[in-house]
């Protein structure tokens, strides 16, 4: 696999963005790209018990979209578990849940993207779900894909496969058995090789460890991301309490879930701002804010 070292990558990125001032260190505070993200809305037309307040995600999504429309991000990405299969809905009922939340999500005045989450497939096939939502400019048959926005290359991965390569389908899966199959890993290698832009990755299940909430072949996928020399950060959902890790010079940030807790104070969504020298996560409500250094020119003192 062809790799590019950090110095060459930084220089090529400078050329792409036409920022020769980097060498003089006077453009470090310029914002390159911003995008919004939200995860684990788990919408269902039931009140819910315990900490998951399924039906409240309609109002929470409305607040999130209103906020994003005021801040003008390049796009809004949902990191998975858009809806929930609580109560064992029929296919028709599950699609109705998607449609109800989509009414709020599609109020966003810009491109929208969805990562497949395991609960999206509690009562639906991948085809059912993908045909019910929209990934702007993407073939609706694709569950993993990439796109460019504002000088950054974004990759959406699909880990909703069992160890034998079988895709999750209408509840026919074990949620702790999450995998990125060989053909998708090969696609990822080629996709990263074909871009000269810095890379940010979205995937529902986690890549930064081992255990129930993690992707089984996470070490293999992390190596592909590290070997590219281009990956800045990976953003997950799935683990509702959220977390952060820094592995192999890549940031791994897990956003807190929208569905957890009652009332507007328990919402969670974030704006991510990519700068020349750092990535800034502005967390709102329960979402955690963080500033993360990125490969690039020396930061101002």
Q: CA–CA separation, 222 vs 128, rounded Å?
A: 30
From first to last of its 301 residues, the chain has per-residue pLDDT tens of 444 444 444 444 444 343 433 333 444 458 999 999 999 999 999 987 799 999 999 999 999 999 999 999 999 999 999 999 999 999 999 999 999 999 999 999 999 999 999 999 999 999 999 999 999 999 999 999 999 999 999 999 999 999 999 999 999 999 999 999 999 999 999 999 999 999 999 999 999 999 999 999 999 999 999 999 999 999 999 999 999 999 999 999 999 999 999 999 999 999 999 998 999 999 999 999 999 997 543 332 2
What pLDDT score was predicted for residue 49? 77
The architecture in CATH of the region 6-18+31-293 reads: 4-Layer Sandwich (3.60)
User: Hey, where are the domains in the chain?
Assistant: 6-18+31-293
pLDDT of residue 17: 43
Neighbours of 210 (CB within 10 A): 11
Q: Is 37 helix (H, G, I), strand (E, B) or coil?
A: strand
Helix 57-71 × helix 91-105 angle, to 10°: 30
Q: What is the DSSP string of 207-231?
A: -SS-STTB-TTHHHHHHHHHHHT-E
pLDDT for residue 290: 97
111, 114, 112: which is closest to 126 by C-alpha?
114
Q: What pLDDT is recorded for position 29?
A: 59
pTM of the model: 0.89
Quote the pLDDT of residue 183. Answer: 97
Q: In whole angstroms, what is the distance from residue 100 CA to residue 82 CA?
A: 11
Nearest to 233 by CA among 152, 163, 137, 174: 152
């Amino acid at each position: 696999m062809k790799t590019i070292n950090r110095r060459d990558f930084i220089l090529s990125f400078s050329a792409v963005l036409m920022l020769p001032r980097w060498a003089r260190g006077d453009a470090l505070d310029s914002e390159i790209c911003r995008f919004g993200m939200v995860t684990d809305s788990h919408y269902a037309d039931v009140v819910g018990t315990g900490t998951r307040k399924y039906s409240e995600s309609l109002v929470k999504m409305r607040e999130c979209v209103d906020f994003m429309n005021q801040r003008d991000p390049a796009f809004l990405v949902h990191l998975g578990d858009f809806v929930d299969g609580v109560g064992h809905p029929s296919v028709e009922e599950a699609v109705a849940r998607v449609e109800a939340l989509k009414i709020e999500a599609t109020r966003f005045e810009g491109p929208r993207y969805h990562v497949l989450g395991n609960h999206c497939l509690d009562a639906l096939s991948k085809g059912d779900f993908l045909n019910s939502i929209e990934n702007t400019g993407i073939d609706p048959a694709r569950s993993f894909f990439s796109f460019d926005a504002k000088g950054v290359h974004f990759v959406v991965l699909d880990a909703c496969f069992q160890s034998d390569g079988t895709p999750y389908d209408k509840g026919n899966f074990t949620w702790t058995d999450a995998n990125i199959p060989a053909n998708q890993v090969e696609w990822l290698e080629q996709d990263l090789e074909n871009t000269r832009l810095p890379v940010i990755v979205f995937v529902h299940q986690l890549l930064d460890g081992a255990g129930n909430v993690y992707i089984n072949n996470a070490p293999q996928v992390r190596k592909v991301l590290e070997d590219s020399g281009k990956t800045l950060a990976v953003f997950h959902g799935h683990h509702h309490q959220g977390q952060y890790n820094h592995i192999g010079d890549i940031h791994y940030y897990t956003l807190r879930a929208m569905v957890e807790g009652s009332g507007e104070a328990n919402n969670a969504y974030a704006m991510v701002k990519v700068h020349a020298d750092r990535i800034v996560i502005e967390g709102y409500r329960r979402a955690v804010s963080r500033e993360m250094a990125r490969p690039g020119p020396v930061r101002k003192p």
